Amino acid sequence: MAKKKKVRVRFRKNRQVRTRKTGFTREFAEHGFTEDDSVRKERLSGKGELSRKRTVIGDRVENDDCGFSVIPDIDTSACLEGRVLEVKGLISNVRTSDGRIYRCAVRRLLKTLSTDQRHVVAAGDRVQFLPDGDEGLIQRVEQRTGILSRTSRGRQHVLVANVDRIVVVASAAEPGLKPHLIDRFLVAAEQVGIEPIICINKIDLIDPGPLQPLVGVFAQMGYKVLQISAETGLNIDLCKSELADRESVIVGQSGVGKSSILNAIEPGLALRTAAVSAETQKGRHTTTTAKLLPLSFGGFIVDTPGIRQFQLWDVTAEEVAGLFRDIRPFVDGCRFPNCTHTHEEDCAVKASVADGRLDMRRYESYCHLRSDGQL
């Protein structure tokens, strides 16, 4: 980061109380006329208290992964460094390196800086905070890496920060497998450079034979696929070895068994679980917030709430083909440089589908993702 200096930054709308004086009628009724120079003090420019920009001492951030355009300068000698375990409303549970947990609020400066993000702090964030007993005040959110985000009401919803692996969990049955949702998570992982691993849970409920062609397609692209059962313990040790000494996040729709897998890997966690609804075949939300969990065998993992719809953040339609590992090699062979790979003539991607080099289901997933208008 650059040398610390004064940086002009933008604040949110309506961060301040109204600056112009009001209530003249009420004041006259109570006190009558008083001599003042209010007319001479009136300011008509957009500067001063009416401006939405302020000067902040800190480091300008070219890559605003931290959510802001500046990281404020603070007195670190008075602060403790910690990792955000969980965010509940206005309070974040922060864990220090010695294992102590503090309930922290966020300083007003961070809450009022202009940002596209829904929340200032996310699970996995590294923060500096001022301690006060078992509570604290977060002064700064450090630069982030490995961010998993989705779009929520037009804004960026950071599910987790500072992870290097995403564990995409699907279930072979109850609820049924949703390959298109897996594809969305894989695209998100490709976009931010997080290593993905696919876990197909509840493999004990079906004959795994018909599932192998799909598993083979993902494996041919270089994705590691584990067929596991949290109920019987099948391949749980293999899954555990993949998580050791890593900083991971586990994602998937409700009911696929994310919490059950974590309980099987680390029995001491005792996470809440619930059966899938027999009527709707949908899971019940037992995990309500993203929660960072230290693992006894090394590393961390973030358990996330079930996601039924994953709308990608900051991905344009033109970028989608490059984020599909199996489509990317064919893109340069198209006749037109701006080919969408959907209707054009002499399209190398469509030709690869026709001759069997590209899986039809994956191509259809690409077309659906590109055209649904909810990237």
pLDDT for 5 equals 77
Enter the tokens of residue 369.
């993702």
pLDDT for 25 equals 79
Radius of gyration over every alpha carbon of the chain, rounded to an integer in angstroms = 26
Per-residue pLDDT of 142-183, as tens digits, reads 989 999 999 988 889 999 999 999 999 999 999 999 999 999
Full strand arrangement of the beta sheet holding 5-10:
5-10, 53-60, 70-72
Per-residue pLDDT of 253-294, as tens digits, reads 989 999 999 999 999 998 887 665 445 545 455 678 999 999
- Name the pLDDT band for 307 (thresholds 50, 70, 90): confident
- Name the pLDDT band for 339 (thresholds 50, 70, 90): very high
Task: Give CATH superfamily name and number for 70-152.
Answer: Nucleic acid-binding proteins (2.40.50.140)
Between helices 179-192 and 360-371, what is the axis angle to 10°?
70
pLDDT for 49 equals 47
Per-residue pLDDT of 24-67, as tens digits, reads 777 777 766 655 555 555 554 555 444 567 777 887 776 655 56
Question: Is domain 161-303 given the CATH code 3.30.465.10 in the classification?
Answer: no
Percent of the chain at pLDDT above 70? 84
pLDDT for 371 equals 83
Domain boundaries, the chain: 70-152, 161-303, 317-371
Enter the tokens of residue 65.
């992964």
pLDDT for 273 equals 78
Average the pLDDT over each of 9-18, 266-275, 322-331 and give the range with the smallest value: 9-18
pTM comes to 0.84
**Closest among 334, 256, 196 to 342, alpha carbons compared:** 334
pLDDT for 107 equals 94
Q: Comparing 179 with 4, which gets the higher pLDDT? A: 179
Per-residue pLDDT of 115-141, as tens digits, reads 888 888 999 999 999 999 999 999 999
How confident is the model over 224-238, as a mean pLDDT?
A: 96
How confident is the model over 83-99, as a mean pLDDT?
A: 95
Give the largest CA-CA distance in the chain.
90
Query: If you count them, how many residues does the chain have?
Result: 375
The neighbour count for residue 269, using CB atoms within 10 Å, is: 17
pLDDT for 240 equals 96
pLDDT for 16 equals 52
Task: Give CATH superfamily name and number for 317-371.
Answer: Probable gtpase engc; domain 3 (1.10.40.50)
pLDDT for 63 equals 62
How confident is the model over 333-352, as a mean pLDDT?
A: 96
